[in-house]
Amino acid sequence: MARKPTGESVLARAVRIFEAFTPEEPVLQVSEIARRTGLHLATASRLVAELAAHGLLARDDDRRVRIGVRLWELALRASPTATLRDTAMPFMEDVHAVVGHHVQLGVLDGDEVIFLERLSAPKGVINYTRIAGRLPLHASSSGLVLLAHGPADLRDRILAAPMQAYTANTITTSARLRRALADIRKQGFAWCPGHIHEEALGVAVPVRDARGTVVAALSVIVPNTAESRAVTGILMTAARGVTRSLPPSPLIH
């Protein structure tokens, strides 16, 4: 594959273009793509045109650029999480019907939790997560569940790194995080009142595969009230249902 004098391949530059898009800004001008990627405008324009010709990017009527449907199709076809999402969906729908607020399914990806699915309600409490959105592990109930049951080297890395504060309730010290992770492993759930937003309570439980390995976190975002803690039992029941329904082959590595 052709390379620049710096040694960067065309594929690497294409990946940088895809990474320029964010959940908050899914549509960009070519000039903004060039600025975010550090590519020359002519180079960015040429690569965008080639990617659009293959359906991996798409142009709006005003020539702004977005991720193409073809890329979404290929990602779904290859995703190892598709079976997990499809298996969990009926149980998520049951929880959503009872709780009436946001229900989410998240998995570990690097040092973050990425959300595969989210069911929401028109008048649900404020929630910053979205499908294919990410949050740091220390701040979210799903992230804490995955971190508590994740590999030791991941925990060591997160404990040693700076932790962003979203509210005064967010965990930001290694001592507090260690205690929280120990509690989660002991009690079987994460309970995070006001960690992302003061008005919201995140509650998450682990989803295990047939071997007992935690492969996902099932969570709800509900009003930050004492009564909302009652959703924990509902979540645990749903997570056990997902585990029983998962195929025996490993889904997440």
Q: Kindly report, residue by residue over 168-187, the tens digit of the pLDDT.
A: 999 999 999 999 999 999 99
Question: How many C-beta atoms surround the C-beta of residue 118 within 10 A?
Answer: 20
105, 83 contact by CB (below 8 A): no
Q: Does 82 score more than 90 pLDDT? A: no
Mean of the pLDDT values across residues 81-100? 92
Answer whether residue 1 shows pLDDT above 60: no
Residue 7 has pLDDT above 70, yes or no: no
d(CA 196, CA 122): 20
Structure tokens at 77: 């076809």
Question: pLDDT value at position 229?
Answer: 76
Q: For residue 78, what pLDDT band results from cuts at 50, 70 and 90?
A: low
Is 0.85 topped by the overall pTM? no
Structure tokens at 144: 């804490």
pLDDT above 60 (res 4) = no
Q: Is the pLDDT of residue 104 over 70?
A: yes
Residues of the chain with CATH 3.30.450.40: 79-245
pLDDT of 225 strictly over 60: yes
Highest mean pLDDT among 5-14, 19-28, 69-78, 135-144: 135-144
C-alpha 65/C-alpha 67 separation (Å) is 7
Q: What percent of the chain has pLDDT over 90?
A: 75
Range in 132-136, 140-144, 211-215 the model is least confident about: 132-136
Q: In this predicted structure, what is the pLDDT of residue 3? A: 41
**Per-residue pLDDT tens over the stretch 183-223:** 999 999 999 999 999 999 999 999 999 889 999 999 999 99
Mean pLDDT of the chain: 90
Distances (CA, A) of 183 to 60, 143, 176, 187: 49, 14, 11, 6
CA torsion sign, 159 to 162 to 164 to 167?
positive
Confidence check: pLDDT of 99 > 80: yes
- For the chain, give every residue range classified as CATH 1.10.10.10: 10-75
Q: Mean pLDDT throughout 46-57?
A: 95
Mean pLDDT for 62-89 is 85
CA distance 77 to 80: 9
pLDDT value of position 24: 81
Q: Which CATH number fits domain 10-75: 1.10.1050.10, 3.40.720.10, 1.10.10.10, 3.30.70.3170?
A: 1.10.10.10
Which pLDDT score is estimated for 61? 83
Query: Topology of domain 79-245, per CATH?
Result: Beta-Lactamase (3.30.450)
